[in-house]
A and B are shown apart, each in its own frame.
Chain A
Amino acid sequence: MADTIVTLDEVVKRFGDREVLSGVTLSVTRGQVVCLIGASGSGKSTLLRCCNKLEDIDGGTISVFGTDLSGDDVRGELVRRHIGIVFQSFNLFPHRTVLDNITMGPRRALKMVKATAEATALDLLTQFGLAEKAKDYPDRLSGGQQQRVAIIRALAMDPELLLLDEITSALDPELVGEVLDAVRDLARSGMTMILATHEIAFARDVADLVVFLEGGRIVESGPPEQVLVEPREAATRRFLSRYLGDAPT
């Protein structure tokens, strides 16, 4: 367990009276790819946001790189400098060029000098096939390109953990492939990732661990061959049959 990056222990999160996470326990080791699946509202996004302290938790503990995030003295922005997150809706900065979008974090949060930050950004853009878009504003890009820029923006911080929240859900079907390919490459390169996804086939392909959430609880977790192919729990089967269109009995 030396290389455990994230440990969640009985994590509880409420919004007002509503309990959205009810005792989630999970640990992620370096290089692991964890896929969160579950119906809308099951708490996938909330779980991801708790991991980088975009949300504070109401019970249990989360530790990341051995630091307990639950303490009030832990500053969220310091945690987030090591943990990238990419959202469903890209959220690029519309008033900045692609290059500036990517270098803002390294330059402002990590105090990297401009030239270094831009060199790194251009390397990443080249790697993702977007080098010629560096000077464009985000609105000039297709959804798939924007989402890849958002991934690069997260990677430019050189994160040790990447959180991806349904990053293909807002894309036209023909653009999903290019983004998933980028994520697949990242998985191969050994990036530790937790991703919420509705792409079951993709999860089966890249995941080391699949976690099925329902009503803020982990119903079932295990390797993809088990959870996605021969689920033990009836709830998982029900969920999968809805997504795959056939009902495994």
Chain B
Amino acid sequence: MTSVTLLVLGAVAIFILSPGAKTFGHYFLNPTIFADTFFGNSAKNLDPMWQAFIKNIEMCLAAEPLVLIWALPVALLRNSPSPLLAGPRLVATAYVDLARGVPLVLVVYAVYFGLPSLNLPFISDRTWFQYGLFCLVFCYGAYVSEVYRAGVQSVPYSQTLAGQAIGLTPFQLNRYVTIPQALRIVVAPLINDFVSLQKDTAIIGIGAGIIEVLKAAQISQGVFFNDTCYVAAGVLFLIICVPLTRLADALQARDQRARLAGAR
């Protein structure tokens, strides 16, 4: 604890004592500019940044349920041992590899600039929001399906046997035995993925050409010629992310403690 405090104080000290501290403070940590960016400045015709941030929030809130749903069949397919599903399973595996391997920003370029140029009905004339959802669901569906898969696999086979032994149907077995046990394991990693998704809504803005928080920061920067605008954008994300990561950690710790204490 004390060593951490020392480290932090040390870092702050280096910061303050650095020759450029004053300039840095002016360009990155300027309270007036922070306030003007955050709450808007009608004199400079600048909208509040938090309004732009609402677009990011909307995007992640709309994407997350779709991600959670879409990942389910992918995970089930990948987990299914049935030889009948060998073909679809291969497709699912290829999808997961692709979606996890390609940076989101490239997916965003492909979708926002590629799809409209195809000139196809329906596919080529979607709104920026729908394209954004597609990108996020495409990428995060793969991550989340892996989380699901790990969760289900971490429930031992002996639990399935025990459920079968008391005459549960396959559905009841999932409902009362496998899924409840998988869920506790999966909640914390799901929150972590949600946090990443939340941040990555900024990448959607790159292709979408809308004023979400990152774009708003750029506009504000153009008005003030001051980088505090970017700090303001970072703070907005932190306000959402930090409580969520704390929650994920707390859930994980609770699960761990319960396991150790044998109090589950």
**Contact, CB under 8 Å: B262 / A140:** yes
Interface residues of B (CB under 8 A from A): 158-159, 161-170, 172, 176-177, 180-181, 184, 259, 262-264
18 contacts between A and B (CB under 8 A): A52-B165, A54-B161, A77-B168, A81-B167, A84-B166, A93-B163, A93-B181, A94-B181, A95-B180, A95-B264, A104-B168, A105-B167, A109-B168, A110-B167, A139-B264, A140-B262, A153-B166, A157-B166
- Bound CA span A199–B65, Å: 54
Residue of A nearest to B162 (CB): A91
Known: A93-B159, A94-B181, A104-B176. A84 touches B262 (CB 8 A): no
Given pairs A87-B165, A95-B181, A140-B263, 13 additional interface contacts (CB within 8 A) = A52-B165, A77-B164, A77-B167, A77-B169, A80-B167, A85-B165, A89-B158, A91-B158, A91-B159, A104-B176, A108-B176, A109-B172, A139-B263
The main secondary structure of chain B at its interface with chain A is helix
- Bound CA span A93–B173, Å: 11
List the count of A-B residue pairs having beta carbons below 8 Å apart.
Answer: 71
**Contact, CB under 8 Å: A84 / B158:** no
What is the CB-to-nearest-CB distance from A87 to chain B, in angstroms, rounded to a whole number? 7
Q: Is there a chain B Cβ closer than 8 Å to A92's Cβ?
A: yes
Which of the listed residues B166, B176, B263 has the most CB atoms from chain A within 10 Å of its own CB?
B166
What is the CB-to-nearest-CB distance from A153 to chain B, in angstroms, rounded to a whole number? 7
- Bound CA span A87–B159, Å: 11
What are the residues of chain A within 8 A of B159 when measuring CB–CB?
91, 93
What is the CB-to-nearest-CB distance from B113 to chain A, in angstroms, rounded to a whole number? 48
What is the CB-to-nearest-CB distance from B156 to chain A, in angstroms, rounded to a whole number? 8
What are the residues of chain A within 8 A of B169 when measuring CB–CB?
77, 109
B-contacting residues, A47-90, CB 8 Å: 52, 54, 76-78, 80-81, 84-85, 87, 89
What is the CB-to-nearest-CB distance from B257 to chain A, in angstroms, rounded to a whole number? 12
What are the residues of chain B within 8 A of A139 when measuring CB–CB?
259, 262-264
What are the residues of chain B within 8 A of A104 when measuring CB–CB?
166, 168, 176
Q: Is there a chain B Cβ closer than 8 Å to A183's Cβ?
A: no
Q: Is there a chain B Cβ closer than 8 Å to A154's Cβ?
A: yes
What are the residues of chain B within 8 A of A239 when measuring CB–CB?
none
The answer, among B168, B181, B184, B262, for a CB contact under 8 Å with A105, is B168
What are the residues of chain B within 8 A of A109 when measuring CB–CB?
166-169, 172
Q: Is there a chain B Cβ closer than 8 Å to A202's Cβ?
A: no
Residue of B nearest to A93 (CB): B177
Residue of B nearest to A86 (CB): B165
Residue of B nearest to A106 (CB): B166
The answer, among B158, B166, B259, for a CB contact under 8 Å with A80, is B166
- Bound CA span A108–B176, Å: 9
